[in-house]
Amino acid sequence: MKIQDLQVDATGDNCLIIKISKSVDLVGAKFKILGPSRNIIVIGDVSSNQFEICTPTIEPTFVEIITKSGTVVRYVNKSGKSTYKYL
Protein backbone atom coordinates (compact mmCIF):
# COMPACT_ATOMS: atom_id res chain seq x y z
CA MET A 1 0.00 0.00 0.00
CA LYS A 2 1.26 3.48 -0.90
CA ILE A 3 0.44 6.88 0.62
CA GLN A 4 -1.48 7.88 -2.53
CA ASP A 5 -3.82 4.88 -2.01
CA LEU A 6 -5.31 6.60 1.05
CA GLN A 7 -7.33 9.80 1.33
CA VAL A 8 -8.77 11.04 4.62
CA ASP A 9 -10.92 14.17 5.09
CA ALA A 10 -12.62 15.62 8.15
CA THR A 11 -16.39 15.93 7.72
CA GLY A 12 -16.98 17.51 11.14
CA ASP A 13 -15.09 18.17 14.36
CA ASN A 14 -15.01 14.49 15.37
CA CYS A 15 -15.92 12.77 12.08
CA LEU A 16 -13.95 11.78 9.01
CA ILE A 17 -14.30 9.92 5.73
CA ILE A 18 -11.69 7.36 4.73
CA LYS A 19 -11.17 6.45 1.07
CA ILE A 20 -8.85 3.61 0.05
CA SER A 21 -7.92 2.83 -3.54
CA LYS A 22 -9.86 -0.08 -5.05
CA SER A 23 -6.54 -1.66 -6.03
CA VAL A 24 -5.66 -2.31 -2.36
CA ASP A 25 -6.44 -5.79 -1.00
CA LEU A 26 -8.50 -5.20 2.15
CA VAL A 27 -8.58 -8.81 3.38
CA GLY A 28 -7.49 -8.66 7.01
CA ALA A 29 -6.94 -4.87 6.86
CA LYS A 30 -7.21 -2.79 10.04
CA PHE A 31 -7.44 0.92 10.76
CA LYS A 32 -6.42 3.14 13.65
CA ILE A 33 -7.70 6.65 14.28
CA LEU A 34 -5.03 8.68 16.06
CA GLY A 35 -5.19 11.96 17.98
CA PRO A 36 -2.85 14.96 17.73
CA SER A 37 -0.10 13.25 19.76
CA ARG A 38 -0.66 10.00 17.80
CA ASN A 39 -2.53 8.48 20.72
CA ILE A 40 -4.95 5.74 19.61
CA ILE A 41 -8.61 6.81 19.65
CA VAL A 42 -10.27 3.95 17.73
CA ILE A 43 -9.11 0.62 16.23
CA GLY A 44 -11.21 -1.41 13.80
CA ASP A 45 -11.44 -3.64 10.76
CA VAL A 46 -11.61 -2.15 7.26
CA SER A 47 -14.74 -3.51 5.58
CA SER A 48 -14.96 -1.34 2.45
CA ASN A 49 -12.95 1.07 0.31
CA GLN A 50 -14.87 4.07 1.64
CA PHE A 51 -16.40 4.64 5.05
CA GLU A 52 -17.22 7.43 7.49
CA ILE A 53 -16.50 7.23 11.20
CA CYS A 54 -16.98 9.55 14.17
CA THR A 55 -14.93 9.45 17.36
CA PRO A 56 -16.53 9.96 20.77
CA THR A 57 -14.35 12.76 22.14
CA ILE A 58 -10.96 13.62 20.66
CA GLU A 59 -10.64 15.25 17.26
CA PRO A 60 -8.97 12.73 14.91
CA THR A 61 -5.73 13.97 13.36
CA PHE A 62 -4.12 10.91 11.72
CA VAL A 63 -5.36 7.62 10.23
CA GLU A 64 -3.24 4.49 10.02
CA ILE A 65 -4.22 1.67 7.65
CA ILE A 66 -2.54 -1.71 8.07
CA THR A 67 -2.74 -4.18 5.15
CA LYS A 68 -0.78 -7.24 4.03
CA SER A 69 1.16 -5.01 1.63
CA GLY A 70 2.18 -2.47 4.28
CA THR A 71 1.15 0.30 6.66
CA VAL A 72 0.31 3.89 5.74
CA VAL A 73 -0.26 6.83 8.11
CA ARG A 74 -2.01 9.89 6.70
CA TYR A 75 -2.87 13.31 8.15
CA VAL A 76 -6.62 14.02 8.19
CA ASN A 77 -7.24 16.87 5.71
CA LYS A 78 -9.06 19.79 7.38
CA SER A 79 -8.65 18.26 10.85
CA GLY A 80 -7.36 21.53 12.28
CA LYS A 81 -10.37 23.56 11.14
CA SER A 82 -11.95 24.00 14.59
CA THR A 83 -8.57 24.88 16.08
CA TYR A 84 -8.00 27.74 13.64
CA LYS A 85 -11.53 29.05 13.06
CA TYR A 86 -11.10 31.82 15.66
CA LEU A 87 -7.78 33.18 14.33
Mean pLDDT of the region 3-23? 92
Number of domains in the chain: 1
The pTM score is: 0.85
What span, in angstroms and rounded, lies between the C-alpha atoms of 79 and 12?
8
Residue 87: inside a domain = no
Residue 85: inside a domain = no
Residue 86: inside a domain = no
The CATH code of the domain that includes 33 is 2.60.40
21 contacts 87 by C-beta, under 8 angstroms? no
Closest CA to 42 of 69, 70, 76, 68: 76
What span, in angstroms and rounded, lies between the C-alpha atoms of 36 and 15?
14
Read off φ and ψ for residue 70, nearest 5 degrees: 140, 180
pLDDT tens by residue, 36-74: 888 999 999 999 999 999 988 777 889 999 999 999 999
Domain holding 38, by residue range, is 3-79
